[in-house]
């Protein structure tokens, strides 16, 4: 606020980022992009930030390993968490302790869930290094991460059969009800 009153963007700068978390293939990026457009906010995808700086994720895993990817992913989360943004996190980003602290302290967290049938259809295209063998790996990873997702979530939506437009409507209403 200046002596002349609020400046454009001041309201957004006070609004915590909305962070979309959940298992692989839940639709976090699609939902985040559409939600940001609806709210008139900037959208960031942490996987995309990592790719832009370090190259394709499968190549990162093959060349540098998962630990390097997780370090770069945590840095991307820290970079993306700016007030007023909508941020989609990779499924494993919540494994980093520092990321969990940032989410608790600085963000409104939306957990997007998906059932195994819908996830199976979505991962069939490949390109996901941790689920090379398909739904069995997805199921194991999702189960391991579920308690972390639930602990961090301020609200939960399911993308298994609900159209993205309806999820955006629900989240827009929920954010409005909570002054976010």
User: Which listed CATH number (3.40.50.300, 3.40.30.10, 3.30.930.10, 1.10.3720.10) goes with 28-170?
Assistant: 3.40.50.300
pLDDT digits (tens, 9 = 90+) for 87-140: 999 999 999 999 999 999 999 999 999 998 898 887 865 555 555 666 888 889
With a CB cutoff of 8 Å and minimum separation 6, the contacts of 168 are: 31, 34, 35, 38
Q: Is 6 helix (H, G, I), strand (E, B) or coil?
A: coil
- pLDDT for 127: 56
> In 3-state terms, what secondary structure has residue 112?
strand
Whether this model's pTM surpasses 0.75 = yes
Task: Say which residue, 99 or 6, is predicted with more confidence.
Answer: 99
So what's the pLDDT on residue 40?
Answer: 95
Lowest mean pLDDT among 4-8, 57-61, 74-78, 168-172: 4-8
Mean pLDDT for 2-10 is 43
Confidence of residue 2 (pLDDT cuts 50, 70, 90): very low
pLDDT tens figures, 19-77 = 999 998 999 999 999 999 999 999 999 999 999 999 999 899 999 999 999 999 999 99
Q: Can you read off the two tokens belonging to residue 179? A: 């002054």
Q: HSE-up of 158 (CA within 13 Å, CB side)?
A: 7
Taking residues 1-11, report their average pLDDT: 43
């Amino acid at each position: 606020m200046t002596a002349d009153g609020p400046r454009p963007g001041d309201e957004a700068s006070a609004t915590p980022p909305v962070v979309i978390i959940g298992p692989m293939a839940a639709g976090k990026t699609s939902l985040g992009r559409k939600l940001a457009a609806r709210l008139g906010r900037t959208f960031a995808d942490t996987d995309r930030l990592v790719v832009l700086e370090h190259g394709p994720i499968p190549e990162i895993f093959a060349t540098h390993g998962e630990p390097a990817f997780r370090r770069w992913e945590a840095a991307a989360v820290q970079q993306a968490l700016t007030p007023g943004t909508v941020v989609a996190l990779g499924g494993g980003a919540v494994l980093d302790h520092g990321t969990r602290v940032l989410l608790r302290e600085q963000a409104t967290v939306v957990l997007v869930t998906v059932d195994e049938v819908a996830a199976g259809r979505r991962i069939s295209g490949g390109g996901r290094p941790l689920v090379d063998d398909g739904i069995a790996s997805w199921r194991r990873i999702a189960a391991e991460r579920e308690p972390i997702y639930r602990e961090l979530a301020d609200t939960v939506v399911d993308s298994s059969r609900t159209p993205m437009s309806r999820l955006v409507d629900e989240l827009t209403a929920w954010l409005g009800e909570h002054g976010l």
